[in-house]
Amino acid sequence: MSTDVRRALLASPTQAARAAEERLRAAYDFVPLEQADMVIALGGDGFMLQTLHSMLEARRILPVFGMNLGTVGFLMNEWRLERLDQRLEKAKSFKVNPLRMTVDTVDGERFSIPAINEVSLLRETRQTARLEVEVNGRAVLPELVCDGVLVATPAGSTAYNLSAHGPILPLGCGLVALTPISPFRPRRWRGAILPEATAIRFTVLDPVKRPVSAVVDQREVRDIANVEVGIDRATPLTLLFDPEHTLDDRIAAEQFIA
């Protein structure tokens, strides 16, 4: 990437990120976000997701180079003050297609929300959720009794999906993971790997007695009636990584961590 690209600098509100922001602004030139060609994001994975969602909502999507000043930093590069221009020039770009969740609530409200990591359906009370699962219009599970279920992108497959014992998906594989969370019935069902073009629909079978919420990355919609999930090819996101530590390398490495 050329070093004459106009860069905006965004930082999470943590003390470490704000301190790093001050040091970067003293050492390099930045422009306001509305004038930028790319974004430098300082924080953790949560702040990266927040930044990407803000761009999706504003319908102005820019490449993002994140530097980790959070906890895990799976979507981030290492924080360093030095040689930023050289790092950006050599950075490797990755396209990430988000999911799109369309949800109807029991009260008749409808929401359409993008998801970079995953869409999760979760029980709201001590009662297990009862869900019908449809794939491309066919009921593949007439009744799934569980704590919840999620649909994860490759970029999100090492997050909540992995904690729920879902598969790790290589970046660019064109697949999504459909993973149950503590399934009670059918007991032996451990999920599925589906082409990313698949249309997935969940219907809550007992939404009053067994209410269910839908969570997209960091946003929750409660008391849902049904949810449709599919890939959103109209708004691809671009993440930038140092060539020695790219996202596909990190996803592959996660498969060998005990």
- Listed by start position, the domains of the chain span 7-96+236-254, 99-231
Quickly tell me which residue has 């869900």 as its tokens.
131
pLDDT at 257: 66
pLDDT in tens, 32-61: 999 999 999 999 988 999 999 999 988 899
pLDDT in tens, 186-208: 988 999 999 999 999 999 999 99
In the chain the first and final C-alpha atoms are separated, in Å, by 36
User: Would you say residue 2 has pLDDT above 60?
Assistant: no
7-96+236-254 and 99-231 share one fold: no
CATH placement of domain 99-231: 2.60.200.30
Catalytic status, residue 4: no
pLDDT at 92: 92
Residues placed in the known binding site for NAD(+): 45-46, 117-118, 147, 155, 158-163
pLDDT at 3: 52
Reported confidence tier of residue 1, pLDDT bands at 50, 70, 90: low
**Percent over 70 (pLDDT), the chain:** 95
Catalytic residue among 4, 29, 37, 45: 45
Can you give the pTM of this predicted structure? 0.83
pLDDT at 170: 85
pLDDT in tens, 154-192: 888 988 999 999 999 987 788 999 999 999 999 889 999
Q: Average the pLDDT over 105-118 and give the result.
A: 95
What's the fold here for domain 7-96+236-254? Rossmann fold (3.40.50)
> Residue type for 27, please?
A
